[in-house]
Chains A and B, each alone.
Chain A
Amino acid sequence: MATTIQTQLKLRPSGDRRADQRGDGAPANKMTARGVAVFYGAKQALKGIDLDIPENRVLALIGPSGCGKSTFLRCLNRMNDTIDGCRVEGRIALDGEDVYGKTIDAVQLRARVGMVFQKPNPFPKSIYDNIAYGPRIHGLASGRDELDEVVQTSLKRAGLWAEVKDRLREPGTSLSGGQQQRLCIARAIAVSPEVILMDEPCSALDPIATAHIEELIDELRANYTIVIVTHNMQQAARVSQRTAFFHLGEMVECDDTEDIFTNPRDERTQGYITGRYG
């Protein structure tokens, strides 16, 4: 049962996994969700989700299609605001501050909680302008040199610098799919967010590009809190430290990734990770 995934876990290259999870004690929670319910018109998509998002960790959200993972993810930076008829109840806090409260502006929140989407969506502008856009509108860089610096570090952190440093003026859309997705990650990083949300970032990519992104996510963990939605359980096992399993609008189980895949407490989780349904 679930042998392939367990093999994956053992074969993971980074040996510091266990230390991450247990060695330094329980990390602080960057974001917390309490009783989050989401309605699209009359239809309820999420039914009272309680979930903690630990700082500088990767949290994977898994579950069958239509279970509400993406909906939950989009609540975290209020991207659901743009959908007509969408209503959010409950409390989501970022560093203890209610993101749906009066003190936080949605624009400010999205600068602090960045997002990478399923399909790479670079702006139809140059690679440079794709990265520089966020810092420009938020006033994060004063002057040309500082902006160049931000672009360079963002591209370096996204592991794209070496490939594009000679073609920064070319359109971002001229890159390959995997490169475009890394460009989007670099664009999110450039705004210096605290949390990065990733909605199935590899579903449109080939295995090599996927491996690239997964390595990148592992590196980014040191500086950012990451929440990733994925349909690929091997991916969840490879990149995340904690995993939450969603089913039919409920959060069934959330635990350390290794425990979820080796010793799930709920039979629905077990059924899903062993491929019985989903």
Chain B
Amino acid sequence: MTDLVEHEARPAPPPAPPASLKSRHRSEAFARRLRARHAAERRFRLAGAAAVGLAALMLVLLLGSIVSKGYSAFWEARIRLEVTLDPAEVADRNYNALLRRALYAQFPQVTDRAGKRTLNDLLSSGAPYELEAMVVKDPAIVGTTRTLWVRADDEIDQLLKGHYRRDLPEAERGLSDAKVAAADALLASAALAQGFNTTLFTAGDSREPEQAGVGGAIVGSLLTLLVTMALSVPVGVAAAVYLEEFAPKTRWTDLIEVNINNLAAVPSIIFGLLGLAVFLGFFGMPRSAPLVGGLVMALMTLPVIIIASRVALKAVPPSIREAALGIGASPLQTVLHHVLPLAMPGILTGTIIGMARALGETAPLLMIGMVAFIVDVPHGLTDSATVLPVQIYMWADSPERAFTERTSAAILILLGFLILMNGLAVILRKMFERRW
């Protein structure tokens, strides 16, 4: 048999290592190096644990500060009144007079105008509307005497929560001695108590802290997110599927890819300016509307969703594509039946992270007028609305003490929504996850 090709001849085996090299494993120098290696590893682990500890400490400090400031906002002070619903006054819609009469009845010793004014200030200016709503809902109560718990003014609320220092002289305290005395008298007769603050969740914004809530902002945020999701998810996933599975790899697709990555890093306020110029300026869409906010957020979220979806699609093993193509599935069937379902957990995670980012975004919304003071809860995509983070931003600017705790409470509510969304992401990922 003739030899085949020259290069296929077996090379000579390499020479055996000298005995001196082998004995090094047992030398003193080797042992020293080994100790140093172990020490380095211990140091690294310690540094890592310290970093994690530091991060956890920061988180605890942040959350602790917000919770300790904000938890009290979930309670509000209410005053017990024996209200006689005089039909004549109800016919005149003079609910204020009814409430005041009931309050004066608890303080028979107060007869002068100044004293009565002090008593008037104990009640929230929104209390008459509360009573009116009650009567409209159940007209049968007119003419009867009812025991009602009526919302107190925010100053009384704050006094009850200990946010006013009683030991300070009247001028420095910011709350008159007369009001403190009246509140104490109500407390003594158990006519002043704290209850769960539902207003915080149902009401829109207000100048009066005790009547202000994040209800409007929550609805505004949900409407905005709805528009964002309806636009950015289908467009983003379709773009990712096309780029990843169908588009030929040319200079154009490279250019598009680079631009998408750049777009993801563009500061969000730029998107707000774009929205202002294009959606409001050119298309003449309404200001402060969740529709426009959603459009701007969709533009901002798109690159995030495209990038996350492409990564998820890339992670699907090519063997699945081959298997589907190999039995005659068309490329579209391969993607829709096999690749996309397998990429779904990753796509969902990316989408929800994008949505969570949109939920917490403020800057672009400032540009399109969603930073307005809006009392009504929005009912549609074109109603004026604000969103949770903007509401937080506006409350943080308000001087009243009661808004300080409401700001923290609103942050807690926003965090709650974010945790809810991230939890949803985890659940959906678990649900769609398949092994291969």
A134 CA to B5 CA in the complex, in Å?
A: 47
Contacts of B248 in A (CB 8 A): 84
Contacts of B1 in A (CB 8 A): 1, 267, 270-271, 274, 276
Contacts of B5 in A (CB 8 A): 277
Which of A19-27, A111-119, A251-259 lies at the interface with chain B? A111-119
Docked complex: A258-278 residues within 8 A CB-CB of B: 267-268, 270-271, 274, 276-277
- B249 in the interface (beta carbon within 8 A): yes
Closest A residue to B434 by beta carbon equals: A124
**Are B342 and A137 in contact, CB atoms less than 8 angstroms apart?**
no
**Are B4 and A276 in contact, CB atoms less than 8 angstroms apart?**
yes
**Are B434 and A110 in contact, CB atoms less than 8 angstroms apart?**
no
Docked complex: B19-63 residues within 8 A CB-CB of A: none
- A242 in the interface (beta carbon within 8 A): no
A114 CA to B327 CA in the complex, in Å?
A: 6
Closest B residue to A138 by beta carbon equals: B328
Contact with B along A64-91 (1 / 0, CB 8 A): 0000000000000101001010000000
Docked complex: B296-335 residues within 8 A CB-CB of A: 317, 319-330, 333
Contacts of A121 in B (CB 8 A): 317, 319-320, 322-323
A111 CA to B324 CA in the complex, in Å?
A: 11
- A173 in the interface (beta carbon within 8 A): yes
The number of residues on chain B lying at the interface, defined by a beta carbon within 8 Å of a beta carbon of chain A, is 27
Contacts of A122 in B (CB 8 A): 323
**Are A110 and B342 in contact, CB atoms less than 8 angstroms apart?**
no
Contacts of A270 in B (CB 8 A): 1
User: How far, in Å, is A140 (CB) from chain B's closest CB?
Assistant: 10
- A237 in the interface (beta carbon within 8 A): no
Q: How large is the interface on A (under 10, 10 to 19, 20 to 34, 35 or more residues)?
A: 35 or more
**Are A110 and B8 in contact, CB atoms less than 8 angstroms apart?**
no
- A191 in the interface (beta carbon within 8 A): yes
**Are A79 and B325 in contact, CB atoms less than 8 angstroms apart?**
yes
**Are B325 and A110 in contact, CB atoms less than 8 angstroms apart?**
yes
User: How far, in Å, is B358 (CB) from chain A's closest CB?
Assistant: 32
A274 CA to B434 CA in the complex, in Å?
A: 45
Closest B residue to A130 by beta carbon equals: B323
- A108 in the interface (beta carbon within 8 A): yes
**Are B4 and A124 in contact, CB atoms less than 8 angstroms apart?**
no
Contacts of A117 in B (CB 8 A): 319, 322-323, 326
B328 interface neighbour in A107, A267, A271, A277, Cβ under 8 Å: A107
User: How far, in Å, is B345 (CB) from chain A's closest CB?
Assistant: 12
- A187 in the interface (beta carbon within 8 A): yes
Contacts of B165 in A (CB 8 A): none
- A188 in the interface (beta carbon within 8 A): yes
Known: A121-B323, A123-B338, A173-B436. A137 touches B8 (CB 8 A): no
A141 CA to B401 CA in the complex, in Å?
A: 73
- B435 in the interface (beta carbon within 8 A): yes
Report which residue of B1, B249, B324, B325 has the largest number of chain A beta carbons within 10 angstroms of its beta carbon: B325
Identify the 10 closest CB pairs spanning chains A and B, nearest first.
A111-B328, A115-B326, A121-B319, A124-B434, A110-B328, A134-B327, A124-B436, A121-B323, A277-B8, A271-B4
Given A123-B436, A191-B327, A276-B1, 11 further pairs, Cβ under 8 A: A84-B248, A107-B328, A109-B328, A117-B323, A121-B319, A121-B320, A123-B323, A124-B434, A133-B327, A171-B435, A271-B1
